[in-house]
Amino acid sequence: MTDKEISDRLQVALLAANRAGAFVLEAGKRGGHVLHRKQTNDFVTETDKLAEELIISIIKEHFPADAVFGEETGSSGKLEHGRWIIDPIDGTTNFFRSLPNYTISIAWEMEPFKPLVGVVFNPRQNELFWAGKDTGAFLNGEPIQVSKLEDHSQAIIVCVPPHRRHDLAESYFEKMKRIFLASSDLRSYGSCALELSYLAAGRVDGYYELCLGYYDMAAGICIVREAGGDFTSADPLTPFSDNRCDLVASNGLIQDWLFHMVQA
């Protein structure tokens, strides 16, 4: 894969994120969302579906042979030219409740779970995060880096309880309590892609969530990696898959500590 092939995809990801962001922002202002429940605490609006269609149409216009994996439309195409991973609105609950923390998240990769391009756009706050392999990470054109914090007692950690898997609540809250008592404070913003972008920008220092879809985090982990951070599966025996990712991410300096905190 050449630098040009990566940077061409990055340009298209930026274009698609900007267009979809403008579309979702307008739909959010109009309100009156048509809401469907996919499973417990998992919602989709008509805007999610239309935004995904828009993103895919832009991608297909430029790279018709590439494969696509979208949260709302699933997988299509052959993998030899790589695949795009799309979450048209990450933070749908925030979107239909008029909370500002939702994003358009678009990634592209040649090998599974090694994203080479990641773009995350929060249209409500006009913050555009992006990274390509070996480009570094950027927020609205300015370089960003993870925090340099080494002392976990001063760290802010994003912890997101398993709101779709209440059967995992007891074990999760036990670990969350451990992290809470050994850190400065916890946060939860309702969009994985946004939270990972905040980690990349040094606004928070760590992240722990179970049962993500790969589309929630693909763009975000690319941006974290390029900003100097680190991430891994929370369970060494369960590697990432398209439909289940248990994620521990951090500025790298507190990665071993955080990983240790979430083991049984």
Binding residues (CB under 5 A) for Ca ion: these are: 71, 87, 89-90, 216
Residue 184: Cβ within 10 Å count: 14
Write down the least CB distance from residue 170 to ligand IPD, Å.
18
Residue 118's binding partner among ligand IPD, Ca ion, none (Cβ under 5 to 8 angstroms by kind) is none
Instruction: Tell me which of Ca ion, ligand IPD, none is bound by residue 212, counting a contact when its beta carbon lies within the kind-specific cut-off of 5 to 8 angstroms.
Output: ligand IPD
Write the DSSP symbol of residue 104: E
Q: Is 167 helix (H, G, I), strand (E, B) or coil?
A: helix
Instruction: Report the interface residues with ligand IPD, using CB under 6 A.
Output: 42, 87, 90-93, 160, 190-192, 209, 212, 216
Q: Which residues have C-beta within 8 Å of that of residue 124, sequence separation ≥ 6?
A: 25, 28, 100, 101, 102
Tokens 């969009």 label which residue? Answer: 191
Return the number of the residue (88 or 252) whose C-beta is nearest ligand IPD. 88
Q: How far is the CB of 217 from Ca ion (least distance, A)?
A: 8
Q: Which is nearer to ligand IPD, 47 or 92 (CB)?
A: 92
Q: How far is the CB of 162 from ligand IPD (least distance, A)?
A: 8
Partner from ligand IPD, Ca ion, none binding residue 190, C-beta < 5-8 Å depending on class:
ligand IPD
Question: With CB cut-offs between 5 and 8 Å by kind, which of ligand IPD, Ca ion, none does residue 226 bind?
Answer: none
Provide, rounded to whole angstroms, the least separation between the CB of residue 175 and ligand IPD.
Answer: 16
Q: Where are the beta strands (DSSP E) in 40-160?
A: 42-45, 67-70, 74-76, 83-90, 103-109, 115-122, 127-132, 136-139, 142-144, 156-160
Helices (H) and strands (E) in the chain, counts: 7, 15
Residue placing its CB nearer to Ca ion in the complex, 103 or 147: 103
Distance CA 242, CA 255 (A): 23
CB nearer to ligand IPD: pick between 24 and 192: 192
160 binds, among Ca ion, ligand IPD, none (CB under 5 to 8 A by kind): ligand IPD
Query: Which uninterrupted H or E stretch holds 197?
Result: helix 192-200
